[in-house]
C-alpha cells in the first residue's frame, strides 16, 4: 500500500478541488480530490488507519488481524458451498479463538501460541482435537492464501494415554425396551438408527420421498449424507419396514421422520432413563453394525448401509464381539 498527497495542477487551473490523495494497492490506484491541504491529510490519516491497525484485508502481512482472517475465511467457506452446520461449527470455535486471543495481528500467532491455546482451552482430548481441526483449518487457510508465513499443520502435544475400549452396543432386549419407550412421533427415526445404521445427523435430512417401502429401499442423497456422496440402502430388514409403515403418519417431521436431531436426542435420552438403559456412544449405529454382520447380506451389506469404506475398521470394532447369529435374529425381529 502507498498513499501520496499532492496538488493536481490541471484541477487547480480549472478552479476545482485540487488536493489529491492517491491510494495505490498493487496494480490498482484510487484518487480522491479535496479542497484544502488540511482535509487531504485528514483523509489520508483516515484511510491509513485500517491498514496500520490491521483491520483491512489489504493491510501489511505483519499487521493484519485475526478478525479479518476470520471474516474472510467464513465468507470463503460459504462461497464454496459448505453446509450450514459446518459453517456454524467453524464460526463458533474460530470466533471464540479470536475473542480469547483479544484479536491480535495474525503474525503474533506462532505454532507455540496455538498449541498453548489448545491445551489451555481444551478440557478433554476430544475437544482439543476439535479445536485443532476447526481453528487450525482457518489458520492454515490463511497460510495458503499468503496472509502469514507460518503453517499450523500437525500441531502435537503429549496427549493423555488411554486404553482402547470395546464398542458399546445395546442388547436385543434393551433395543426392544427403547423402541417401546420412544414417543410415537419419534419411533421411525429410532428405528432407522437401530435397524438401518444411518448416522444420527443424517436422519433429519431424509425425506419420505426417498423411502421406498415396497422395494425395501432408502436413498440418502449427497446433500443429506455426511460424506456428501449418494448412498442406497437396499434389502432393508422386514422389522424396519414394519416400524415405518405403522408410525409414519405419527412422525413429527414435516417432510421426513423428524425435523431436528436435537429434539429427537432429548426424547431418546428420556426414553432410556424411563426404562433404565445406559445408552452407549453412537449405540444404535454400533448395534446395527454388530448384529447386521449376520444378516444374509453380511458385512458388505452392513458397510454399504452405514456408508463405511474401510473394511479393516469394520472388522476391528464389529467382528468377534461375542455376538452371534441367534442374537442377530432376535435383534432384527424387534
Contact 44, 5 (CB under 8 A): yes
User: What's the pLDDT score for residue 18?
Assistant: 86
Order of strands, sheet of 211-212, starting from the edge strand that comes earlier in the sequence: 211-212, 217-220, 231-233
Question: Rounded to whole angstroms, how far apart are CA atoms 175 and 193?
Answer: 11
Cell of 9: 495542477
Residues in the chain with pLDDT < 50? none
Question: Rounded to whole angstroms, how far apart are CA atoms 194 and 292?
Answer: 10
Question: Rounded to whole angstroms, how far apart are CA atoms 198 and 261?
Answer: 13
User: What's the pLDDT score for residue 84?
Assistant: 87
Q: Specify the residue for cell string 419411533.
A: 187
| Cβ neighbours of 186 (radius 10 Å) | 24
Contact 218, 240 (CB under 8 A): no
Q: Specify the residue for cell string 479445536.
A: 131
Contact 135, 70 (CB under 8 A): no
Burial of 333 (0-12, 13-18, 19+ CB in 10 A): exposed
The SS3 of residue 199 is coil
pTM recorded for the entire structure:
0.72
CB contact set of 193 (below 8 Å; sequence gap of 6+): 200, 203, 284, 285, 288
Cell of 244: 415405518
- Could you please report the per-residue DSSP string of 78-118? HHTT--HHHHHHHHHHHHHHHHHTTS-BGGG--HHHHHHHH
User: Which residues are registered as beta bridge partners of 65?
Assistant: 105
Cα dist. 330→15, 112, 293, 294 in Å? Answer: 95, 54, 13, 11
Question: Rounded to whole angstroms, how far apart are CA atoms 168 and 182?
Answer: 20
Amino acid at each position: 500500500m502507498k498513499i501520496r498527497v499532492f496538488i493536481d495542477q490541471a484541477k487547480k487551473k480549472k478552479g476545482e478541488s485540487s488536493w489529491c490523495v492517491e491510494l495505490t494497492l498493487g496494480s490498482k490506484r484510487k484518487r480522491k480530490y479535496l479542497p484544502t491541504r488540511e482535509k487531504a491529510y485528514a483523509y489520508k490519516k483516515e484511510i491509513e488507519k485500517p491498514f496500520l491497525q490491521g483491520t483491512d484485508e489489504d493491510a501489511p502481512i505483519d499487521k493484519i488481524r485475526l478478525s479479518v482472517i476470520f471474516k474472510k475465511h467464513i465468507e470463503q467457506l460459504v462461497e464454496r458451498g459448505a453446509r450450514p452446520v459446518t459453517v456454524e461449527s467453524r464460526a463458533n470455535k474460530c470466533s471464540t479463538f479470536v475473542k480469547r486471543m483479544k484479536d491480535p495481528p495474525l503474525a503474533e500467532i506462532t505454532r507455540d501460541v496455538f498449541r498453548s491455546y489448545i491445551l489451555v482451552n481444551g478440557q478433554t482430548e476430544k475437544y482439543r482435537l476439535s479445536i485443532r481441526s476447526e481453528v487450525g483449518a482457518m489458520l492454515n487457510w490463511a497460510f495458503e492464501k499468503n496472509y502469514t508465513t507460518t503453517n499450523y499443520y500437525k500441531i502435537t502435544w503429549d496427549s493423555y494415554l488411554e486404553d482402547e475400549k470395546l464398542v458399546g452396543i445395546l442388547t436385543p432386549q434393551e433395543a426392544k425396551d427403547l423402541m417401546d419407550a420412544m414417543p410415537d412421533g419419534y419411533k421411525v427415526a429410532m428405528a432407522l438408527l437401530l435397524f438401518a445404521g444411518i448416522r444420527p445427523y443424517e436422519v433429519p435430512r431424509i425425506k419420505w420421498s426417498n423411502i421406498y417401502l415396497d422395494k425395501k429401499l432408502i436413498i440418502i442423497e449427497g446433500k443429506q449424507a455426511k460424506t456428501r456422496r449418494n448412498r442406497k440402502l437396499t434389502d432393508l430388514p422386514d422389522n424396519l419396514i414394519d416400524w415405518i409403515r405403522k408410525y409414519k403418519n405419527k412422525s413429527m417431521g414435516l417432510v421426513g421422520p423428524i425435523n431436528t436431531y436435537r429434539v429427537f436426542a432429548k426424547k431418546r435420552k428420556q426414553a432410556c432413563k424411563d426404562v433404565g438403559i445406559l445408552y452407549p456412544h453412537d449405540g444404535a449405529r454400533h448395534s446395527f453394525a454388530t448384529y447386521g454382520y449376520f444378516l444374509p447380506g453380511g458385512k458388505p451389506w452392513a458397510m454399504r448401509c452405514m456408508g463405511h469404506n474401510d473394511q479393516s475398521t469394520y472388522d476391528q470394532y464389529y467382528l468377534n464381539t461375542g455376538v452371534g447369529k441367534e442374537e442377530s435374529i432376535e435383534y432384527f425381529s424387534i
